[in-house]
Structure formats: structure tokens, C-alpha cells
Structure 1
Amino acid sequence: MNQAELIETVATSAGIKKTEAAKVVQSVFEGISSALGRGEEVRLAGFGIFEVAERAAREGRNPRTGDVVKIAASKAPKFKPAKQLRDAVND
């Protein structure tokens, strides 16, 4: 499912226009993104937890030349599914 299909599903299930559903979906994505940007976690009961994972600085290798390359520390979004979501996927 892509974003357009998600918008169509939301519009159909909520009985609203696609333009309104698009605003709702975009608002949800922006809310999750901004919370993660502030370092907060987002808990959605029955769905899962979005959080920020810290990645330490490390050394890697350039696969073409074999030279050692320094990789800077970074943050990455992480998702842990809730039991209900895991069960729904495995049924």
C-alpha cells in the first residue's frame, strides 16, 4: 500500500472526501515526525511505538578502495510493533 492507497482507505472508512483524508494522513505523519525530531517517542496503543535510536560513531570501509572511513554518529527512527499488530500480521 502506498500513500495514495492509504488516503483512499481512510476516506472510505471515515466517509470523508479524499482531500480531507489526505490532510488527516499528512497531519499524522507530520505529528510523528516532529515528535521524533524533538527526541520524543510516539506510542499508539494497539499499533506500536515510534522512537529515536542513537547510532554511535564508527569506522567503516569504502568497498571500492578498502580505505577506512569515519562514519559520524547519527539518530534514526525506529519502530516496535505492538502485540496486536504482530498478531494481525501473523494470522
Structure 2
Amino acid sequence: MRTFDTSGGGATSREPAIPSKSQLRNAVPKTPRAPSDRSHGTLTKREIAQAVYSVCPGLSRSQAKGFVDAVIEEIVCALAVGEDVSLRGFGKFAVREKPERPGRNPKTGVSAPISARKVVTFKASDQLKAEVDGE
């Protein structure tokens, strides 16, 4: 299982310190986002890259996009070979095998077997659940 620790390592004196989640929360007042900030309530990869670019002043926009693409590709590759991916404070992605089972076409009622397949599951961490719940 791959585990990615988002807590960060020790910053050297040459690197700017990355503010903690509580520091960011205290520094920026919570205000509702303008509708133009988000497209139909869905966070996109482009918006994630923009967020990385805005909090990392040393990165260019293309480097931020490359960073986000690399992270997502690493997660996809790990899942493709059957490894679990655990992101501390966020949740765990896992691949599960579903066996073949009987099914039916709801329109015609004809029975047909549903083939065995692999599916990706996600289990949210307690920390994520609490954040979403507003605690």
C-alpha cells in the first residue's frame, strides 16, 4: 500500500515555510466563493493546479499543472497494478474485485450475466468526514 503523508517535512532555512492548515484558516476569513470560482460545484484539475500555483510562489503555472498531473498519474498507476493508495487526512483508494453475477436488462427484462470486474473504492478518513460535516 502506498501512503502519501501530506503533513510535510522539515523546511530548511532557505525554503519558505508552508503555512499549516490552521494558520491558513485563521489568516483568510471564510467567505463564500463567487460562482465564477467554481464550475457548477465541481472542483476540476485546472482549479487544483491554480490552487497549487497560488500557494507555491516558486512554481510557474506549467510546473503546478505538471505537479498535479504527476500526482494523479502516480495514484492511477498504483491503482492499476492493484495497490491501495492512502492519503493521510483524506482517505484511502482501493481496488476491489467484483465477481460475476446474474443481472437483467431493465427495459426488456432479459436476463444476462454481468461479468467480473475490478472497481475502485474510496473510504474517507475520519478527519475528512469531520471537515465535511463542519466540525
Q: TM-score range by the shorter chain?
A: over 0.9
State the one-letter code of the partner of 1:3.
K
Structure 1 runs of 4+ off > 2 angstroms?
none
Residue 80 (structure 1) aligns with: 123
Could you tell me how far apart the structure 2 residues matched to 1:69 and 1:55 are? Answer: 16
Q: 1:11-41 CA deviation, whole Å, 9 max, x = no partner?
A: 1112222211111111111111111111110
Report which of the two structures shows the higher radius of gyration computed on alpha carbons: 2
Identical aligned residues as a percent:
37
Q: 1:46-86 CA deviation, whole Å, 9 max, x = no partner?
A: 11111101111111111221100111000011111111111
Residue 12 (structure 1) aligns with: 54
Q: Residue 79 of structure 1 aligns to a residue in which SS?
A: strand
Could you tell me how far apart the structure 2 residues matched to 1:51 and 1:32 are? Answer: 10
Residue 45 (structure 1) aligns with: 88
- Pairwise CA RMSD of aligned residues? 1.0
Q: Which runs of 5+ in 1 are unaligned?
A: none
Give 1 or 2: higher strand fraction. Answer: 1
Could you tell me how far apart the structure 2 residues matched to 1:86 and 1:14 are? Answer: 27
Give 1 or 2: higher helix fraction. Answer: 1
Q: Which runs of 5+ in 2 are unaligned?
A: 1-42
